[in-house]
Structure 1
Amino acid sequence: MALTDDFKTLTNAFSGLGVDEKSLISILGNSQLEERKCFRKGTPHLFKEDERLFERWNDDRVRLLKHEFMRFKNAVVLWAMHPWERDARLVKEALKKGPEVHGVIVEIACTRSSEELLGARKAYHSLFDHSIEEDVSYHIDGPESKLLVALVSAYRYEGPKVNKDTAKSEAQTLSHAIKNADSSNPIEDDEVIRILSTRSRAHLQEVYKHYKEIFGHNIDEDVDANLRLKETMLCLCTPQTYFSNVLEVSLRNDVDKNTKKGLTRVIVTRADTDMNLIKEQYHNQYGVSLSSKIGDTANGNYKDFLLTLVART
């Protein structure tokens, strides 16, 4: 057995997103006792020696590997679910995990159609015997609560009609709130919340356009310090940019497990809707195809499943 080559293959199998099960079976399954000892000695990121020179699994790495092995299963389960149930369960998980993943609630509230969001709210009620609004209000404290309750409660007009004068006026309203962010949080401003939670996406995209024409910057560029407001503006006005950003960050090896979950979530939830637009935007932003990036980063059955979903037209 060419140990050097096999070490490299096994290391790759354990690296990145997902686990290359086929390589593990082929190499470890056919290895001899002494070869496995050499593997343990040659992979200090997986095994460590105690004071008696006994090679043992790195406990932190074992916990990480458990999550990696679960990625394929989780992706398949989410894909098989009714989209309403899927969104309801994603909201529930975000509420359990805490503030670092509350952006998932913004994502669902602002990138689904009115009927899809209403369906998710119905599914949540059926699954958990509470309303989404009730649980968001109960579990989220501080200034975010008011905005998120309004967003998950929305039922927006989805037609093409837009009043350009109103859009220009509301661009000014948002600018005023953003400029005064040092004294008052924009997401606690009643007018900001009214605009973001009631206006149609077509109208908000017009607001977005006028804002840049008037002030020379995109709204999301001017609210970097306010993550929830930035996520809301991107999801409502340029959702493909938002999803591309989530995918790019989730494909990094040095991010936490909750961030990595964004890869599964975005691909599974968008494969039937706007994946082609997301792929185009991703390529424009990062200069590489999404499929190539996944192919270079993910492993095994998980990689194959994601690439199958990305290739759907």
Structure 2
Amino acid sequence: MELNQELEALTQALSGHGVEENALVTTLGKWDPLEREAFRKKTPNLFIEDKERHFQRWDDHYARLLKHEFVRFKNTVMLWSMHPWERDARLVKEAIKKGKASYGVLVEIACTRSSEELLGARKAYHSLFDHSIEEDVASHIHGIERKLLVALVSAYRYEGPKIKNEHAKSEAKIIYDVIKNAHKKPINEDDEVIRILATRSKPHLKALYNHYKDISGKNLDEDLDDIRFKEAVQCLCTPQIYFCKVLDSALKIDVDKNTKKALGRVIVTRADIDIKEIMADYNNLYGVTLPHKIQEIAKGNYKDFLLNLIARGSN
């Protein structure tokens, strides 16, 4: 392989969504100092030329991002090896610590787990951190999001199939009226809407979702402007579609590390649950299979591990 081809292969190996370890070994590992200098000079997205001192140094921002790519495989393996309760507890702790940009993970865990699974995460959180999830969400999250998030992580929903259709229809109308009058009172200040989303069973909420469309002509999540309420409705009523959207965002090339991290999180947490359904919906939504998209975007052991999880979960 000529040097220019090797440079291109190595640049691709370091382009994100994991690292192609074999390319680093077979290419970078055998280069002499002049070849390594040529690599630095021909990849200005990775290295910055110090013209005064005559050397090329790593771009600090990219170096930090690359460190995350090197550990992405390790972190995904660690998540997969954990008990699901511990996994969710640690994901919650990390989301609280990282702040507002990660609060969607709290919604995801609170709304896509069964009542017993969420209770298990709360038990694990006690064991790991000597606090309750509810306590930490309430004490570390401030402003308009806190009321909804505390209510969601505290939930223990009825899991049976029975619903009272007239109640679902009535509550769809309540939410419709609140959204229509949001200029008077924002939805995140409405205790009745929070009660409905945090306490009603998922079959009830799915019936409410259908009634809302009959009333509004649009899906409930389409009418919601508040991101946390939108995420909650999607996770409770159309979870597979929600996960497809998260995966699609995570599989884009130029996204931040938190968005990328969702790829491993979703595959790991759904591999034993509904990855088969998520794959079918992903194909319908985006016209490409999820394994093909991962094969195209991800790199190295990280890619192979994700594909293995999908393959075992879709059998």
TM over 0.5: yes
For 1:102, what is the secondary structure of its paired residue? helix
1:276-302 alpha-carbon deviations (Å, 9 max, x no partner): 011111111111111111111110000
- 1:156 matched to 2:157? The reply is yes
1:214-271 alpha-carbon deviations (Å, 9 max, x no partner): 2110000001x20000000000000001101110111112111111111111011000
Given that 1:241 and 1:278 are in contact with CA atoms closer than 8 Å, whether structure 2 keeps it comes out as yes
For 2:27, what is the secondary structure of its paired residue? helix
- 1:92 matched to 2:93? The reply is yes
1:133-191 alpha-carbon deviations (Å, 9 max, x no partner): 01100011112111111111111111111111111101001101111222212122111
* 1:173 matched residue in structure 2: 174
For 1:143, what is the secondary structure of its paired residue? coil
- 1:3 matched to 2:32? The reply is no
Alignment of 1:29-40 (within 5 A): 29-40=29-40
Provide the rounded CA distance (Å) in 1 between the counterparts of 2:5 and 2:257. Answer: 29
Provide the rounded CA distance (Å) in 2 between the counterparts of 1:57 and 1:193. Answer: 48
- Give the number of aligned pairs: 312
For 2:48, what is the secondary structure of its paired residue? strand
Given that 1:13 and 1:20 are in contact with CA atoms closer than 8 Å, whether structure 2 keeps it comes out as yes
Worse-superposed segment, 81-90 or 41-50: 41-50
Q: Partner letter of residue 111 of structure 2? A: C
* 1:141 matched residue in structure 2: 142
Given that 1:143 and 1:185 are in contact with CA atoms closer than 8 Å, whether structure 2 keeps it comes out as no
Worse-superposed segment, 225-234 or 180-189: 180-189
Given that 2:16 and 2:66 are in contact with CA atoms closer than 8 Å, whether structure 1 keeps it comes out as no
- 1:291 matched to 2:291? The reply is yes
For 1:311, what is the secondary structure of its paired residue? helix
Provide the rounded CA distance (Å) in 2 between the counterparts of 1:231 and 1:256. Answer: 19
Worse-superposed segment, 68-77 or 140-149: 140-149
Q: Partner letter of residue 242 of structure 1? A: Y
Alignment of 1:54-69 (within 5 A): 54-69=55-70
Given that 1:85 and 1:123 are in contact with CA atoms closer than 8 Å, whether structure 2 keeps it comes out as yes
Q: TM-score, normalised by structure 1?
A: 0.98
Provide the rounded CA distance (Å) in 1 between the counterparts of 2:16 and 2:28. Answer: 19
Given that 1:150 and 1:197 are in contact with CA atoms closer than 8 Å, whether structure 2 keeps it comes out as yes
Provide the rounded CA distance (Å) in 2 between the counterparts of 1:185 and 1:79. Answer: 39
Provide the rounded CA distance (Å) in 2 between the counterparts of 1:293 and 1:16. Answer: 14
* 1:247 matched residue in structure 2: 247
* 1:193 matched residue in structure 2: 194
In structure 1, runs of 5+ residues without a counterpart are none
Q: Partner letter of residue 288 of structure 2? A: V
Given that 1:157 and 1:200 are in contact with CA atoms closer than 8 Å, whether structure 2 keeps it comes out as yes
Q: Partner letter of residue 56 of structure 2? A: E
In structure 2, runs of 5+ residues without a counterpart are none
Alignment of 1:61-140 (within 5 A): 61-140=62-141
Worse-superposed segment, 72-81 or 186-195: 186-195
Q: Partner letter of residue 173 of structure 1? A: I
* 1:277 matched residue in structure 2: 277
- Residue 33 of structure 1 deviates from its aligned partner by 2.1
For 1:217, what is the secondary structure of its paired residue? coil
For 2:145, what is the secondary structure of its paired residue? helix
Given that 1:133 and 1:149 are in contact with CA atoms closer than 8 Å, whether structure 2 keeps it comes out as yes
Worse-superposed segment, 177-186 or 201-210: 177-186
* 1:26 matched residue in structure 2: 26
User: How much identity, in percent, do the aligned residues show?
Assistant: 64
Provide the rounded CA distance (Å) in 2 between the counterparts of 1:187 and 1:37. Answer: 56
For 1:56, what is the secondary structure of its paired residue? strand
Q: Partner letter of residue 74 of structure 1? A: N
For 1:86, what is the secondary structure of its paired residue? helix
Q: Partner letter of residue 18 of structure 1? A: G
For 2:195, what is the secondary structure of its paired residue? helix
Given that 1:147 and 1:188 are in contact with CA atoms closer than 8 Å, whether structure 2 keeps it comes out as no
- Residue 54 of structure 1 deviates from its aligned partner by 1.0
Q: Partner letter of residue 182 of structure 1? A: H
Q: Partner letter of residue 296 of structure 2? A: D
Given that 1:88 and 1:120 are in contact with CA atoms closer than 8 Å, whether structure 2 keeps it comes out as yes
Which structure 1 residue ranges, 4+ long, deviate > 6 Å from structure 2? none
Q: TM-score, normalised by structure 2?
A: 0.97
- Taking only aligned residues, the RMSD between alpha carbons, in angstroms, comes to 0.9
Provide the rounded CA distance (Å) in 2 between the counterparts of 1:190 and 1:48. Answer: 53
Given that 1:168 and 1:210 are in contact with CA atoms closer than 8 Å, whether structure 2 keeps it comes out as yes
* 1:230 matched residue in structure 2: 230
Worse-superposed segment, 71-80 or 26-35: 26-35
